[in-house]
Amino acid sequence: MVRDKPNEVVKIDASGVFFRELNARLQETFSVGTRKVELQNVYGQRYIGTNLDKPVEIEIFGTPGNDLGAFMNGPKIIVQGNAQDGCGNTMNSGEIIVHGHAGDIVGLAARGGKIFIREDVGYRAGIHMKEYQDKKPVLVIGGTAQDFLGEYMAGGILILLGMNLAEGKCHKAKFIGTGMHGGVIYLRGTVEDYQLGKEVGIAELEEKDYQILRQLVGEFAAHFGYDAEEILKHKFIKLFPRWLRPYGRLYAY
């Protein structure tokens, strides 16, 4: 059966539905040509968006469970609420927009796609993101992050805006960019040297950095109703990997 009105938004009430059944229902709904689903009363169901493999849209009301969009390839997910751990885990392409907080390891090992978190994230956000050919994962965080932000980062763009930090307050994350060997982190707001991993260097932004920021902060602002110009007025610093092979000289033979 092919749906007559693909533009119609299908609403699914997720309350009391086990994740396996919910995801099967999503897959079935999209398989007949639906383009957008609104999930209501989501309470912790995992793996939403994992096995869809096409550019469809899911708007989630409530709190999706861990591994939201894990291994995701294509869909756009909008969360009207908070996301939990593992959001965008090993994501290949697509977009996740969270109107709230997200838990630990946002964007773990993501290879592509974009993740926008309006507020704070937990530990190890952006860990081991990597880029490949035309794929470049993007993670933009409106608030602040916990320790090990961008750990082992091998590619992609990570932007931390710190918009909820009080004037003059530093970010709290320590070990930022530990083991980083690719990609770039743009940081709005200040950090002390001790908060950075040994493997990152600090640089002033160049014009091409501002171009990237104008684009991505512009998208962030459009998603959440901010003024991009206002955000960009503030000073940014750029963190980059000092070595492409941080552990290359560790061995005797």
Interface contacts to another protein, rule CB under 8 A: 19-20, 23, 27, 46-47, 50-51, 53, 66-67, 70-71, 73, 85-86, 89-90, 92, 105, 108-109, 111, 124, 127-128, 130-132, 135, 151-152, 154-155, 179, 181-182, 244-253
- Shortest Cβ distance from residue 100 to another protein (Å)? 21
| CB nearer to another protein: pick between 105 and 217 | 105
The whole-angstrom separation of Cα 133 and Cα 98 is 27
| CB nearer to another protein: pick between 100 and 182 | 182
DSSP 93: E
- Shortest Cβ distance from residue 53 to another protein (Å)? 6
The whole-angstrom separation of Cα 202 and Cα 215 is 22
- Shortest Cβ distance from residue 22 to another protein (Å)? 11
The whole-angstrom separation of Cα 107 and Cα 123 is 11
- Residue labelled with tokens 């003059």: 168
| CB nearer to another protein: pick between 91 and 187 | 91
Alpha carbon dihedral 81, 84, 90, 96, in 10-degree steps, equals: 10
- Shortest Cβ distance from residue 55 to another protein (Å)? 13
Q: Within a 10 A sphere around the Cβ of 188, how many other Cβ atoms? A: 22
Q: Put the strands of the sheet holding 114-117 in their side by side order.
A: 9-13, 36-43, 57-63, 73-80, 93-98, 114-117, 138-141, 154-160, 182-188, 236-241, 200-203
| CB nearer to another protein: pick between 104 and 162 | 104
- Shortest Cβ distance from residue 235 to another protein (Å)? 30
| CB nearer to another protein: pick between 120 and 199 | 199
| CB nearer to another protein: pick between 171 and 181 | 181
> Strand, helix or coil at 233?
helix
Residue 62 φ/ψ, nearest 5 degrees: 120, -150
β-pairing, 138-141 vs 93-98, is: unpaired
- Shortest Cβ distance from residue 182 to another protein (Å)? 6
The whole-angstrom separation of Cα 204 and Cα 72 is 34
- Residue labelled with tokens 């930090």: 165
| CB nearer to another protein: pick between 107 and 189 | 107
- Shortest Cβ distance from residue 157 to another protein (Å)? 15
